[in-house]
Structure 1
Amino acid sequence: MADLILHHYKTSPFAQKIRSVLGYKQLAWQSVNIPPIAPKPDVEALTGGYRKTPILQIGADIYCDTALICDVLEHRASLPSLSPATHKGLARVLAQWGDTTLFSTAMAYNFQPKGREQMFANVPPGFAQAFADDRAKMVGSGTRLRVGDATSAYKSYLRRLATMLDDQPYLVGNDPCMADFACYAPLWFTRVNVPALASILDATPCVLAWMDRMAALDHAPAGRLTSAEAIAVAAASTPLPLADDIFQDDHGIALGSQVSVHAESFGQETSQGELIAATRMHYTLRRVDARAGTLHVHFPRIGYVLQAV
């Protein structure tokens, strides 16, 4: 059985990002379907509070945020690579822009009334309002783009992507890289989940052709697990050994301290545990759950806040 377990749901754009990466690398994985809105008790049993989608589980190791998950999958299968042969820094910066600015703009456009009507046409009564309330809590006091502003910015961003694709098949060269997967995900949501609004893509045919190439990378999961089965896998596992270079102190917080970690902006639910690693790229917390046992929960440094408890 594949040891990569992805906790996700079908319509999540960030889950689609990772599903596409798994397809590109031809990695077998197990699928755990999770709720799109809180409460998510089985997810939080693994993460200690973090509830954004998706999370990647490998035994008793839990990886949060798709930027970190991409790095984990790159270490699992170095070829085909998510890092281009040249312009590696550019690819990371572009991927971060795709995960943040492009994503928030596209979703503000996607969830205008016409999009919401299509998204929630066949859901149970009350779910649409529950979804809206849930996302409002995750956004918190942050500024949300109005539809007109989001539409204008989305059109501009699509044109910018088109200029990158004028003379090459992918954003940073001849092969897909981390930037392609990050930028593809919010556009995929427009095309697949709110097709009534997808005409915005028509003005950039080279972007549509690129999306077709990206869509061809998908493949089916190796199998399916329930949340309870995934928690049982964690409980029966021992966290992976840590790398040798585990401490870069930028906060004055010693290893072994009780700490909390949460996202800088969207989805600020806090996870708490013992800080056992603070590498150049990520934090690792050790925590114990009554059902899942001893876990190592990993977060990227960029985009996350570390604080002593």
Structure 2
Amino acid sequence: MADLVLHHYKTSPFAQKIRSVLGFKQLPWQSVNIPPIAPKPDVEALTGGYRKTPILQIGADIYCDTALICDVLEHRQPAPSLSPPTHKGLARVLAQWADTTLFSTAMAYNFQPKGREQMFGTTPPGFAQAFADDRAKMVGSAPRLRVGDATTAYRSYLRRLATMLEDQPYLVGNVPCMADFAAYAPLWFTRVNVSSLAGILDATPSVLAWMDRMAGFQQPEAGRLSSADAIAIAARSTPLPVADEVFQDDHGIPLGSRVSVHAESFGLETSEGELVAATRMHLTLRRVDARAGTVHVHFPRIGYVLKAA
């Protein structure tokens, strides 16, 4: 049975990003369906507070944020690679832009009234407002794009992507890379989940053709687990030994300290634990949960705030 466990829900664009990467790499994975809004007690039993979707679980190691999850999957199976043979830095910067600016712009467009009506038309009464309230808490006081501004920016970004695709099948060359999967996710949401608004894509046929190519990366789940099953896996597992990597101390916080970690912007919930690794690329917290036992929770360094607890 596959040891990669993805905690996700069907309509999540960031979950689609990782589902597509798993398909690209043909990696078997097991699925845990999680709620789209809080409370998420079973997720928090593993993460200590972080609740963005998705998370990747391998035994008692919990990986947060799709940027880090992509690096983990790349290490697990280097080929086919998410890093282009040339322009690796460009691919990372473009992926980060897609995960932040493109994503927030596309979602501001997608959740205009017509999109909300399609998304929540068949959900139970009150769910649409609960979803809006939940996302407002995750965003906090960050400024939000109005629909008109988001539409203008989204059209421009689509044209820029189309320009990249004029003479090549993928954004950075002839094979897909991490930037393609990051950019595909919010556009997938427009095309699949709010199809009533997908006409905005029609002005960029090269983007539509690229999306068709990206949609071909499918890897069905190898099995389904309940969240209780996943917690039990963590409880009977031992976290992997912390890699012998250079400690990069940018905060004056020594290893072994009690710390907190939270996202810089979207998803402000805090996870606390013992800092057991702080490398150039990631942070690792050791924490103990009554149900999940001892787990290591991993975060990327970019986009996250580390503080002494």
Shared fold, TM over 0.5? yes
Deviations 1:174-231 (A, max 9, x none): 0000000000000000000000000000000000000000000012111100000000
- Aligned partner of 1:201 in structure 2 is 201
CA RMSD, 1 decimal: 0.4
In the other structure, the counterpart of 1:268 is: 268
What does 1:207-222 align with in structure 2 at a 5 Å threshold?
207-222=207-222
Paired residues for 1:129-148 under 5 Å: 129-148=129-148
* SS class of match (1:115): helix
Structure 2 Cα separation of the partners of residues 240 and 28 of structure 1: 20
Paired residue type of 1:63 = Y
Q: Normalized against structure 2, the TM-score is what?
A: 1.00
Structure 1 distance, partners of 2:140, 2:274, is 27
Counterparts of 1:246 and 1:306 in 2: how far apart (Å)?
A: 17
Poorly superposed stretches of 4+, deviation over 4 Å: none
Deviation readout 1:82-105 (Å, 9 max, x if unpaired) = 000000000000000000000000
Task: Determine if contact 2:281/2:300 at 8 Å carries over to the other structure.
Answer: yes
Cα 1:48–1:246 change in 2 (3 A) is farther
- Tell me the equivalent position of 2:8: 8
- For residues 243 and 43 of structure 2, what CA distance do their matches in structure 1 show? 26
1:256 aligns with 2:287: no
Q: Distance in 1 between matches of 2:245 and 2:100?
A: 29
Equivalent residue of 2:224, what SS? strand
The answer to whether residue 180 in structure 2 is matched with residue 180 in structure 1 is: yes
Quote the Cα distance in structure 2 between the aligned partners of 1:271 and 1:243.
Answer: 21
Amino acid at match of 1:286: R
Residue of structure 1 in register with 2:239 after alignment: 239
1:84 and 2:84 are equivalent in the alignment? yes
Amino acid at match of 2:175: D
Aligned mates of 2:36, 2:80 — CA distance in 1: 31
Give the whole-Å Cα distance in 1 for the aligned partners of 2:76 and 2:222: 16
Aligned to 1:22: 22
Report how far residue 245 of structure 1 moved.
1.1
- Equivalent position SS for 2:108: helix
Percent identical across equivalent pairs?
Answer: 86
CA distance in 2, matches of 1:72, 1:140: 29
Q: Is the 8 A contact 2:92 2:178 kept in 1?
A: yes
Amino acid of the structure 1 residue aligned with 2:85: A
| Unpaired stretches in structure 2, ≥5 consecutive residues | none
User: How many angstroms apart in 2 are the aligned matches of 1:204 and 1:218?
Assistant: 24
AA in 2 matched with 1:225: L
Q: 1 CA distance for matches of 2:277 and 2:92? A: 23
Residue ranges of structure 1 left out of the alignment (5+ in a row): none
Could you tell me which amino acid in structure 1 is paired with residue 56 of structure 2? L
Does the Cα contact within 8 Å between 2:28 and 2:219 map onto a contact in 1? Answer: no
Could you say which residue in structure 1 is the equivalent of 2:62? Answer: 62
Q: Aligned to 1:198, what secondary structure does the other structure show?
A: helix
> How far has the Cα of 1:247 moved from its partner?
1.1
Q: CA deviation at 1:241?
A: 1.2
Aligned to 1:115: 115
Q: 2 CA distance for matches of 1:39 and 1:51?
A: 9
Separation of aligned partners in 1, 2:142 and 2:245: 36
Structure 1: distance between partners of 2:238 and 2:245: 20
- Once residues 150 and 218 of structure 1 are traced to their aligned partners in structure 2, the CA distance between those partners, rounded to angstroms, is 30
CA distance in structure 2 between the partners assigned to 1:62 and 1:248 by the alignment = 21
When the two structures are superposed, what TM-score results if normalisation uses the length of structure 1?
A: 1.00
Contact (CA 8 Å) 2:140, 2:266: kept in 1 or not?
A: yes
Separation (CA, whole Å) in 2 of partners of 1:263 and 1:194: 27
Deviation at 1:246, TM superposition (A): 4.5
Structure 2 counterpart SS, 1:145: coil
